[in-house]
């Protein structure tokens, strides 16, 4: 019989970069910031969402229509837990940004609820609940945001039936940059324009690029990473929605970026660097370019977040 060990837990669910250009629906990377916070408390009433801050009223409050709510309900049911939970979500990143916003709250919530009940499940075992929640809302299951956000690091999804994934080695000096232009692209819109079939030759080329990138990560080989971070599947169509991509890439490269590409389904741009100062300068240059192009933005840089979701505080019963 699983019982609560804490009466209240606050947790952090980080942003993440899906696809990482070369691994469509398969690769994802965890960021240090931004991220969402979730505070959960034991309560008398049935499990519910008490409040959502920072979403400008856009997210559903109904427990069965919110990814964080669905993940928590599914967890409680799976472990046959009778106690009730009240959720307070604080969104600290925008919706439709390509930073895994929809998953970050669910990741924070599932991490918090598992901690509250004494961590009966491992981090890895929490993945299916969040995937299920994402699938229920978005209509398609892809874990390249939520799994890295949960586990940290760079994660390769190797299969969905059954779910299989692997944390890949991350070079110690690998920095990310993320520039979020104040535009919105919905994942569902961005998926609609994808081809349903691709040529065998394109598939083989993309397989070679992804395989080369995996080898380069294992060898901390930055020049090879640069070479292999290419996408012939989603980028050619998605960049029609992001006409600033090509020029942004050139700017990032002029600041010695390893790579600059679309974060998830956009509009955010992610970049990879082997130097923190270059990352900062490069992101500022990208902001300036985007401003001339007509849109404001904010940026984030840091080492790849190897920790994933974290517990910020917990009050004992």
Please give the residue ranges that form the binding site for a second copy (CB under 8 A): 23-27, 156-159, 164, 166, 168, 194-200, 202-212, 214-215, 218, 224, 227-228, 233
Kindly state the smallest distance separating residue 229's Cβ from a second copy, in Å.
Answer: 12
Residue 221's Cβ-count burial label (10 Å; 0-12, 13-18, 19+) is middle
Residue 311's Cβ-count burial label (10 Å; 0-12, 13-18, 19+) is middle
CB nearer to a second copy: give 2 or 168: 168
Kindly state the smallest distance separating residue 159's Cβ from a second copy, in Å.
Answer: 6
Do 290 and 296 touch, CB atoms closer than 8 A? yes
Kindly state the smallest distance separating residue 263's Cβ from a second copy, in Å.
Answer: 18
CB nearer to a second copy: give 168 or 284: 168
CB nearer to a second copy: give 166 or 292: 166
CB nearer to a second copy: give 25 or 132: 25
Kindly state the smallest distance separating residue 271's Cβ from a second copy, in Å.
Answer: 22
CB nearer to a second copy: give 55 or 221: 221
H helix intervals, 219-303: 222-228, 235-238, 245-254, 276-293
CB nearer to a second copy: give 73 or 174: 174
Kindly state the smallest distance separating residue 39's Cβ from a second copy, in Å.
Answer: 36
Kindly state the smallest distance separating residue 218's Cβ from a second copy, in Å.
Answer: 4
12 has which bridge partners?
37, 310
Put residue 164 in one of left, alpha, beta given phi > 0 → left and psi -120 to 50 → alpha. Answer: beta
> What SS3 state is found at 32?
strand
Which residue reads 């009940």 in tokens? 117
Positive/negative CA dihedral, 166, 172, 173, 175? positive
């Amino acid at each position: 019989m699983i019982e609560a060990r804490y009466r209240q837990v606050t947790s952090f669910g980080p942003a993440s970069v899906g696809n990482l250009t070369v691994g469509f629906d398969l690769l994802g990377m965890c960021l240090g910031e931004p991220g969402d916070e979730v505070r959960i408390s034991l309560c008398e009433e049935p499990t519910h969402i008490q409040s959502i801050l920072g979403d400008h009223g856009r997210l559903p409050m109904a427990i069965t229509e919110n990814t964080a709510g669905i993940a928590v309900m599914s967890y409680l049911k799976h472990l046959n837990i009778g106690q009730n939970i009240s959720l307070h979500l604080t969104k600290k990143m925008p919706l439709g940004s390509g930073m895994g916003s929809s998953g970050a709250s669910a990741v924070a919530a599932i991490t918090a609820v598992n901690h509250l009940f004494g961590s009966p499940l491992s981090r890895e075992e929490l993945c299916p609940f969040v995937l299920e929640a994402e699938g229920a809302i978005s209509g398609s299951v892809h874990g390249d945001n939520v799994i890295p956000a949960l586990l940290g690091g760079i994660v390769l999804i190797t299969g969905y039936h059954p779910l299989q994934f692997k944390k890949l080695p991350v070079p110690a000096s690998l920095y990310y940059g993320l520039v979020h232009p104040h535009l919105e692209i919905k994942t569902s819109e961005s998926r609609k324009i994808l081809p349903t079939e691709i040529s065998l030759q394109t598939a083989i080329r993309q397989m070679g690029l992804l395989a080369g990138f995996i080898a380069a990560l294992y060898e901390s080989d930055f020049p090879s990473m640069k070479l292999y971070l290419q996408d012939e599947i989603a980028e050619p169509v998605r960049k029609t929605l992001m006409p600033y991509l090509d020029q942004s890439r050139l700017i990032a490269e002029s600041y010695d970026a390893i790579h600059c590409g679309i974060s998830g389904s956009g509009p955010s741009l992610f970049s990879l660097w082997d130097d923190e100062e270059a990352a900062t300068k490069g992101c500022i240059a990208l902001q300036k370019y985007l401003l001339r192009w007509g849109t404001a933005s904010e940026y984030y840089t840091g080492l790849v977040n190897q920790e994933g979701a974290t517990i910020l505080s917990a009050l004992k019963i």
